[in-house]
Amino acid sequence: MNLRSLDLNLLVILDALLDEAHVSRAADRLGLSQPATSAALQRCRELFRDDLLERGRGTMYLTPKAETLRAPLKSLLAGLTELVDPPQVRLADIRQVLRISMTDYPALLVVPPLQQELQRSAPGIDLVIQPWHGADAARVALIDGSSDLAVSVFPPAEDDLHRQEVMVEHYVVAMRARHPAAKAFNLKTWLAYPHVLVSGRGDNRSPLDAELASRHLSRRIGLVVPTFQMVPSLLRGSNMIAMLPSRVVADFSGLVSFPPPIKAAGFSLHLAWHRRRAKDAALQHVATILAGLLR
């Protein structure tokens, strides 16, 4: 049989005919005319090579073939309905693992309250916070499906990712409270001490260094670390300096901060997922919570 020639509407009409065992009642149920329903019955008879409904004394009876069709036909139509318009699953009933790619900042800020909210609203959603390998790797992981959500700086791109801005951040210069440069902080004192640079890929330069070079200036990168979480103790125990996102410094005690002595562009943080996941209830729930926490 060539399925391309099958009219699915015919199966819907047949389902009503088998339920009602009456052409007029089936027509009323479907909102069709009696001639149209009779014509559909004739087409069904040709399709299944059986009379399906037979006339008796004042009524119609299902043939044995029709009786065998009733249950599988209902299952088929229910499956098609679920495929096209799946039922809403209660958040409390979802059992799903979601993989999120982001740096330790903002993970330090959002993962604890995210987990607390999920325990309340969707306790069956489990999270995997994946190692950070950079924004490009995060974008590729969303496309190939090895990550479900990502938080990063994502430039506009003509791909299948949905991205939404969730935070606008700026940088501050941080150091220990009694740092010698804190007494008279300026460009000269800022560059007089070694800097800590955070880079998950081990880079020892950043866009700030290019800006300094354009001014015929440079700084000494004394230490490169992979996570922001390592920075506070390093600053508190030395004369090193670090330029950090303002919200990171706000969570660290024993440090003071100053505006950068040269213009340092901030950044917009984005939450992103693949557009094919637009109807994934678990993903959308976690995304909503994350967006709220980051904002």
pLDDT in tens, 224-279: 998 888 999 999 999 999 999 888 887 788 899 999 999 888 888 899 999 888 88
Task: Please indicate, yes or no, whether residues 129 and 14 belong to a single structural domain of this protein.
Answer: no
Q: Indicate the pLDDT class of residue 284, thresholds 50, 70 and 90.
A: very high
Domain hosting residue 248, numbered range: 171-265
With 70 as the cut, is the pLDDT of residue 68 above it?
yes
Q: Are 21 and 61 in contact (CB under 8 A)?
A: yes
User: Considering the entire predicted model, what is its pTM?
Assistant: 0.65
Structure tokens at 13: 């009409």
With 90 as the cut, is the pLDDT of residue 70 above it?
no
Q: Which of 36, 57, 84 is the last residue of a domain?
A: 84
Contacts of 80 (CB under 8 A, 6+ apart): 8
Contacts of 266 (CB under 8 A, 6+ apart): 168, 169, 170, 171
Task: Please indicate, yes or no, whether residues 178 and 160 belong to a single structural domain of this protein.
Answer: no
Give the model confidence (pLDDT) of 169-204 as tens digits.
Answer: 899 999 999 999 999 999 999 999 999 999 878 888
CATH code of the domain containing 59: 1.10.10.10
Task: Please indicate, yes or no, whether residues 24 and 49 belong to a single structural domain of this protein.
Answer: yes
Task: Please indicate, yes or no, whether residues 157 and 272 belong to a single structural domain of this protein.
Answer: yes
Look at residues 276, 280, 279, 174 and name the one whose alpha carbon lies nearest to residue 234: 174
CA-to-CA distance for 45 and 10, rounded, in angstroms?
Answer: 11
Which residues on neighbouring strands pair with residue 223, listed in sequence order? 196
Task: Please indicate, yes or no, whether residues 79 and 115 belong to a single structural domain of this protein.
Answer: no
Task: Please indicate, yes or no, whether residues 24 and 140 belong to a single structural domain of this protein.
Answer: no
Task: Please indicate, yes or no, whether residues 189 and 258 belong to a single structural domain of this protein.
Answer: yes
Task: Please indicate, yes or no, whether residues 225 and 213 belong to a single structural domain of this protein.
Answer: yes
Say how many domains are in the chain: 3
Task: Please indicate, yes or no, whether residues 13 and 76 belong to a single structural domain of this protein.
Answer: yes
pLDDT at 72: 87
Structure tokens at 282: 């678990």
Look at residues 120, 128, 139 and name the one whose alpha carbon lies nearest to residue 285: 120
With 60 as the cut, is the pLDDT of residue 95 above it?
yes
CATH code of the domain containing 137: 3.40.190.10
Q: Which of 62, 84, 106 is the last residue of a domain?
A: 84
CA-to-CA distance for 44 and 16, rounded, in angstroms?
Answer: 12
CA-to-CA distance for 30 and 19, rounded, in angstroms?
Answer: 12
Q: Which of 33, 63, 84 is the last residue of a domain?
A: 84
Task: Please indicate, yes or no, whether residues 111 and 132 belong to a single structural domain of this protein.
Answer: yes
Place of tokens 């509407």: 9
CA-to-CA distance for 46 and 4, rounded, in angstroms?
Answer: 16
Task: Please indicate, yes or no, whether residues 177 and 217 belong to a single structural domain of this protein.
Answer: yes
Contacts of 84 (CB under 8 A, 6+ apart): none
Residue 32 half-sphere exposure, CB side, CA atoms within 13 Å? 21
Task: Please indicate, yes or no, whether residues 160 and 282 belong to a single structural domain of this protein.
Answer: yes
Work out the mean pLDDT of the chain and round it to a whole number: 89
Look at residues 142, 144, 148 and name the one whose alpha carbon lies nearest to residue 161: 142
